[in-house]
Structure 1
Amino acid sequence: MRLLGGWRIEGELPNTRQAIIPVAPHTSNWDFFVGVFVMLALGLKLSFLGKHTIFRFPVNGLLRWLGGIPVDRRAAQGVVGQMVTEFSQRHELILALAPEGTRKKVTEWKKGFIHIAKAAQVPVVPVAMDFSRRVIDIRPPMLITGDIDAELARVKQAIAHAEGKNPQHAC
């Protein structure tokens, strides 16, 4: 599927009511805007985790309407447990997130999404945002059943080919 700006989508989202979609690499503020554009173009209703400090006037209402869930990363509030509960209570929840947790250079991805997927028994659908080819690459769904570190490596491998807008910030 072709989108504006020369972007195209390769692959398809599975027909499921619940999933976690890690989108990587996350190296720029542009990632959010490309992601929202893709979400709207496909008519998707996604939820996403965002740093609590961006959920303020004048964009708070818009971010929540788009599916935003604020997270305070400074406090240990049990985000994994809260999201597992959300999945158990909602008939439909597709959670898109940046596994790096930031646009800045990091050495490792956050493991919370793998813990959530395993505990909630929902598939992980890796999505690569490849700025070098202007492709949103939707990879096949994965069920998380094994060792957390091995499963994280499997997800990372599925989207390792993608280059972010600022490749020097990629993990």
Structure 2
Amino acid sequence: MSKLSKWILGLFGWKIEGRYPPPEEVPKAVLIVIPHTSNWDFPLGLLVRSAIGADIKFVGKSSLFKPPHGWLFRALGGYPVDRSKSTNYVQMMVDIFNREKTFHVVIAPEGTRSKVDRLRTGFYYIAKGAGIPIIMCRFDYGRKVVEFREPYYPTGDVEKDFEVINDYFRNVKGKNPEQGYLYNG
């Protein structure tokens, strides 16, 4: 499947840059992908996940996990998140990380495909609470490059850590650039 996924990505002109660490090196991580501006980000992410041969789970809004297609999102490795009510989502995810020997999960910290001025912070507090790194990945539709950054361990200095995160994602062109986080085209 990995070779087929690489071939499909290449057919559409996409490249993968950087290296996603295998679980032997980094057993647990929160992967954040920015920008999330289109429904096309999901199939692109599935192709990339297959191409790199990684077992990465994902979280999505709970409505995606209802019939008739909910079974598919679960089969693809999804975990539903109910955004309509207050839940202790961060602690729930920290508990999963603490329970599992290896676990990688991808989160779109914008929380929506619409334009946002700041990222949601749950991914940060999950990584900090579980003592695991954040792996940053950008989907650059302008260059047709999916790029991974080396794992980053949050320092606890939220302002400093978000400077690092924002610098990495600044001016990355999403599928719908006008909706992209920190994109000034």
Query: Which of 59, 62, 67 is the aligned partner of 2:69?
Result: 59
**1:21 is matched with which residue?**
31
**2:105 is matched with which residue?**
95
Give, in whole Å, the separation in 2 of the partners of 1:61 and 1:149: 39
RMSD: 1.4
Q: What is the deviation of 1:46?
A: 0.9
SS at match of 1:126: strand
Q: 5 Å matches for 1:79-118?
A: 79-118=89-128
SS at match of 2:80: strand
Give, in whole Å, the separation in 2 of the partners of 1:9 and 1:159: 16
Q: What is the deviation of 1:58?
A: 2.5
8 Å contact kept, 1:128–1:136: yes
Q: 5 Å matches for 1:146-165?
A: 146-165=156-175
Q: What is the deviation of 1:14?
A: 1.9
Runs of 4+ in 1 over 4 A off after TM superposition: none
8 Å contact kept, 2:134–2:151: yes
Q: What is the deviation of 1:153?
A: 2.5
Give, in whole Å, the separation in 1 of the partners of 2:21 and 2:14: 21
8 Å contact kept, 2:20–2:52: no
Query: Which of 16, 31, 50 is the aligned partner of 1:40?
Result: 50
TM-score with structure 1 setting the length:
0.95
Query: Which of 139, 147, 151 is the aligned partner of 1:129?
Result: 139
Query: Can you list the C-alpha shifts for 1:44-71, whole angstroms capped at 9, x where unaligned?
Result: 2111110001112232111111110000
More displaced stretch, 8-17 vs 21-30? 8-17
Q: What is the deviation of 1:105?
A: 0.9
Give, in whole Å, the separation in 1 of the partners of 2:149 and 2:52: 16
Letter in 2 for 1:130: D
TM-score with structure 2 setting the length:
0.88
More displaced stretch, 87-96 vs 36-45? 36-45
Letter in 2 for 1:19: A
**1:10 is matched with which residue?**
17
Q: What is the deviation of 1:161?
A: 4.0
The answer as to 2:150 corresponding to 1:143 is: no
Q: What is the deviation of 1:149?
A: 3.1
- Stretches of structure 1 that go unaligned for 5 or more consecutive residues are none
Query: Can you list the C-alpha shifts for 1:58-102, whole angstroms capped at 9, x where unaligned?
Result: 321111111100001121110000000000001111011101000
Higher relative contact order (CA 8 A, sep 6+): 1
Give, in whole Å, the separation in 2 of the partners of 1:25 and 1:8: 17
Q: What is the deviation of 1:133?
A: 0.6
- Stretches of structure 2 that go unaligned for 5 or more consecutive residues are 1-5
